[in-house]
């Protein structure tokens, strides 16, 4: 349940961003705030269409969320030591499948949206030569205690910032996934896990009530 909630939070904060020319990606704190405001507005306004066709969430996530997530960097961090001696083609297949998996995963968890809110922590100064930073976010849910999260962002060569990880209660999503998949990668290989991820990515998005 906690892992699913992490993904929901990441989706809410980043999904349905305004177009890139309207978001200052060189300023990570402001970028996150702008994107979050737009996210909640669109979630609320497009519920009828989403309920009519849950697969529509995949399209929106692909168009509006993924440009603000560094899926390639996250995938390489997940593979870690497994990159040594790996075939380039296998790694590329893993990156592609992992990205597709994220799209479906974000879309699926967004079916659980129920009017949660977001409160941002204070903005911190970032040195010009710094490439990694974080933004603190509190998730306000009237039915649960607030959840404190830190979104990890990495600065691209272009100067834009993109999210690659999220830490909640000291637990990194990347570290958690690495632990979960490391044994599978050793047993099945990078390409085998990539195929598994692609199969998961191809699953249709459904509301829980529709799955029963």
pLDDT, one tens digit per residue, over 127-146 is 989 999 999 988 787 777 87
Domain count of the fold of the chain: 1
Look at residue 148 and tell me if it is in a domain. Answer: no
- Mean pLDDT for the stretch of residues 158-179: 87
Confidence of residue 1 (pLDDT cuts 50, 70, 90): low
Look at residue 79 and tell me if it is in a domain. Answer: yes
Q: What is the pLDDT of residue 170?
A: 79
Look at residue 71 and tell me if it is in a domain. Answer: yes
Look at residue 126 and tell me if it is in a domain. Answer: no
Question: Would you mind telling me the total number of residues written for the chain in this entry?
Answer: 212
Global pTM value? 0.81
Rounded to whole angstroms, how far apart are CA atoms 1 and 20?
A: 33
Comparing C-alpha atoms, which of 28, 8, 21 is closest to residue 163?
Answer: 28
Contacts of 58 (CB under 8 A, 6+ apart): 103, 104, 107, 205
What H or E segment, with its residue span, contains residue 153?
strand 147-155
Look at residue 124 and tell me if it is in a domain. Answer: no
What is the extent of the structural domain holding 29?
A: 2-114+175-211
Look at residue 95 and tell me if it is in a domain. Answer: yes
Look at residue 151 and tell me if it is in a domain. Answer: no
Comparing C-alpha atoms, which of 129, 173, 131 is closest to residue 11?
Answer: 173
Look at residue 136 and tell me if it is in a domain. Answer: no
pLDDT tens per residue, range 26-83: 999 998 888 777 766 777 788 899 999 999 888 877 877 788 889 999 999 999 999 9
* High-pLDDT (> 90) share of the chain, %: 45
Question: What angle in degrees, to the nearest 10, is found between the helix axes of 28-45 and 2-14?
Answer: 100
């Amino acid at each position: 349940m906690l892992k699913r909630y992490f993904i929901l939070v990441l989706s809410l904060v980043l999904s349905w961003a305004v177009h890139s020319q309207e978001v200052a990606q060189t300023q990570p704190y402001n970028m996150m705030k702008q994107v979050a405001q737009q996210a909640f507005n669109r979630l609320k306004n497009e519920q009828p269409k989403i309920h009519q066709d849950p697969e529509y969430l995949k399209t929106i996530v692909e168009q509006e969320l993924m440009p603000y997530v560094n899926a390639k960097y996250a995938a390489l961090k997940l593979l870690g030591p497994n990159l040594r001696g790996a075939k380039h083609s296998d790694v590329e297949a893993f990156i592609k499948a992992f990205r597709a998996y994220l799209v479906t995963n974000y879309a699926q968890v967004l079916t659980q949206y129920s009017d949660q809110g977001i409160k941002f922590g204070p903005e911190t100064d970032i040195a010009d030569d710094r490439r990694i930073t974080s933004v603190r976010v509190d998730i306000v849910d009237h039915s649960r205690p607030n959840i404190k999260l830190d979104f990890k962002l990495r600065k691209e060569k272009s100067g834009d910032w993109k999210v690659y990880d999220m830490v909640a209660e000291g637990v990194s999503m990347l570290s958690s996934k690495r632990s979960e998949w490391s044994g599978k990668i050793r047993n099945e290989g990078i390409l085998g896990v990539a195929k598994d991820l692609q199969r998961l990515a191809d699953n249709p998005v459904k509301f829980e009530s529709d799955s029963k």
